[in-house]
A and B are shown apart, each in its own frame.
Chain A
Amino acid sequence: MDLNVKNEEKGTLVSVTGRMDAVSSPEFEKELGRLIGEGNVNFVIDLNGLDYISSSGLRSVLVTAKKLKGVKGQILLASLQAVVKEVFAISGFSTIIPIYESIEEAMTAL
């Protein structure tokens, strides 16, 4: 899994590529935790390059969302691949974490 962080006008864009599983998702959790610690509160997560997400990956997203809730921030997911989108849908996570078709849409929604 690779993370690419970019500061945009309205928030921080984090692009995730590869796989988010039990091995790699702690890295996502740690990096986002660091960014939040630096004072970033508004995140758009670009999941266009994410091929697979396991329940551990979902948990990392959830942990991040909970952290942001504490600092009145938000996390928006954008351009999910079908297989990942399905995981979010099945687990019901799509009902608590906003999902957008494109980065632009997500940025606008921030």
Chain B
Amino acid sequence: MKNRGLAFKLILLILSSVTLIFLLIFGYSYMYSKRIIVENVEKNATNLARATVNQIDIVLRSIEKVPQNLSCVLGQSLCSGNELNNLLKYIVQNNKEIYGSAVAFSPLAYDDKKERYAPYFYKSGGEIKYSDLGKASYQYFFQDWYQIPKELDRPVWTEPYFDEGGGNIIMSTYSVPFYRTVDGEKGIAGIITSDISLSWLQEIVASIKIAKTGYGFLISQNGTFVTHPKEELVMNETIFSQAEARGDDGLRKIGRKMIHGESGFVPFRSMLTGKLCWMVYAPLSSSKWSLGVLFPQDELMADVARLNKTVIILGVIGFAFLLVIIVFIARSITRPLSVLAGVAEDIATGNLDVLIPEIKTGDEVGKLAQSFDYMKTSLKQYISDLTETTAVKERIESELQIAHDIQMGILPKIFPAFPEMSEFDLYATIEPAREVGGDLFDFFFLDDDHLCFNVGDVSGKGVPASLFMAITKTLIKTRATKDMPPEVILNQVNQDLSEDNPSLLFVTLFLGILNIKDGTIEYCNGGHNPPYIIRAGGEIEAVETTSGLALGVMEDFSFQSKRFVLNKGDALFIYSDGVTEAMNTEHKLFSEKRLEGELYRLKDLPVGDILAGVTEKIREFAQDEPQADDITMMIIHYNGSDDSVI
């Protein structure tokens, strides 16, 4: 799923949802229709059973009527043998339900001479036949149909039996005792019977047609099968022996309920086909028999099954149709998308001239393609602009680099300066910041004995500062002449810078003049950091301020000079604020305190090495923090003059 395409995911999701919905609807419809059908089946089955029971009852009642009526007649008067025979014959002839009918007299009840007498008329081969059951071979005294009603002293339906020597068929007999009063005492004079052919009853029950394999059966009050489509069961088996044979406890319970005259609707397995059925059972009201009717489930559910089959087929067709449509839709979405993905890959590798296919769907994908095209064009434009800008920037940077080189170029570069002069050693260093800066330093002789030196720092950075620095340096060089004290030089330079200074740039400047013969330094400080004197003894002193203002700020400012003396071995250290304001990554300043400490530590080294040592220390301090300002240092070490020694 994870690495499959969009189309696959779409298809999977939609189809599984549709399947789920379909199954839910189908399941519900199946359950619901099944419930309705079962309800209908139960109702119909109960009605059918009731109707059948009624039908059978009618038959049985009509059979019962005959001996009942006859018993009344025979109870009143004793008719002659002929009369009785005619009556019986007439009864059998005119009651199609009745297979045969007999009047079995109690011993000697008919005739003092006759121990047994039982005229019997029955149907055989379309004729009415006569038989005297009193014959020795029949022994009716021992037959159930005679004995049971006599013993119970009431009418009885017998269990099914084969009437051997009598009707010679399987039958059931309704026996009614009749009475006579002899010597004022009422006693049973005999039993009147009417037989029903079980095969004939079977036909009635078999006429119950239920679907294809449904059937009905009757059991007697003992559970013996009276009718059943499986003929060998009739008379020979009971519902309980069947239950035993099948090991079916349910059947036993049903049988028990049936012989108790209950009715019900239960699921049941057919004794004929073994199929699942529903069974309705109901008692007959005439005899104590019970009717069972079986309804094969599958046949009754055939309609539902057919409906389900149709629904499933429709579902499958719809499913296939949906699949085709979704595949089509998914493809139509993903095809342009994969084309776009390919194009995007092309663009990603830098090919901005790739042609974006026109997608005229007007939907989101179409819009995406449009946006994509727009993006490509914009990107192309942007890159072209960027290339141009970069070129311009590079040109400016190279020009700035040139400006920087020129700026550095106007500063003295060879150290020690004046190696031929033994009176002093002078070193200077400038560590320019990345941008063009505004620090400057210079030194030159005003005459044979006087060395003019200066260190300055123009406010701000960049090209304006560097131009201002160049102007300042040139002005100092041109203004400073022989015998001119420092304050005059500064006054004049300040005047020149202030007169026309629209951008209000200014420069801090320390300017001193060293008399190399005696070490005297006359100086003027225009707002610059006070330099340090490193005494030969190791003391570090800051040079006293002259309260001068930075140059270029105010016209007509009056600078003051002061002086001090460098003795042999003393040195003067001048620096720009790039030194003390060098910053580390935590934005801490290098500070005067640290500088003084470094000077003290390095004081005994050769002068050139002192500057290198401080530079090294600043770098170490600043670590990765980019240098923000020029770092300028100058050191003049006074060695003393030969003259002064003399």
Contact = CB atoms under 8 A, between A and B. Distances in A.
- Answer yes or no: do A and B interact: yes
Interface in B538-594: 545, 547-550, 553-554, 577, 581, 587, 589
A82 to B, nearest CB: 11
A21 B459 contact: no
19 contacts: A22-B628, A52-B581, A52-B587, A54-B577, A54-B581, A56-B459, A59-B459, A59-B505, A62-B553, A83-B589, A87-B577, A90-B528, A90-B530, A91-B508, A91-B528, A92-B527, A92-B550, A96-B549, A96-B554
Interface in A53-74: 54-56, 58-59, 62-63, 66
Contacts of A90: 508, 527-530, 545
Question: Chain B at the A interface: mostly helix, strand, loop or mixed?
Answer: loop
Given A21-B628, A54-B581, A90-B529, A95 B547 contact: yes
B283 interface: no
A93 interface: yes
A92 B577 contact: no
A96 B553 contact: yes
Interface in B490-545: 504-506, 508, 526-530, 545
B425 interface: no
B549 A59 contact: no
A93 B460 contact: no
Nearest to A89: B545
A19 B529 CA distance: 19
B527 A66 contact: no
B504 A62 contact: yes
A59 B506 contact: yes
Q: How large is the interface on B (under 10, 10 to 19, 20 to 34, 35 or more residues)?
A: 20 to 34
Given A59-B505, A59-B506, A66-B504, A91 B549 contact: yes
Contacts of A89: 545
Contacts of B527: 90-93
A90 B548 CA distance: 8
A92 B529 CA distance: 10
Contact of A56 (B460, B526, B554): B460
Contacts of A66: 504
Interface in A93-109: 93, 95-96
B629 interface: yes
B461 interface: yes
Given A22-B461, A59-B505, A91-B550, 8 more contacts: A51-B587, A54-B628, A55-B577, A90-B529, A90-B545, A92-B549, A95-B547, A96-B553
A93 B461 contact: no
Contact of B550 (A19, A52, A93): A93
B159 interface: no
Contacts of A54: 577, 581, 628-629
A92 B548 contact: yes
Nearest to A87: B577
B457 interface: yes
B528 A62 contact: no
Interface string A36-63: 0000000000000001101110110011
Contacts of B628: 21-22, 54
Contacts of B460: 22, 55-56, 59
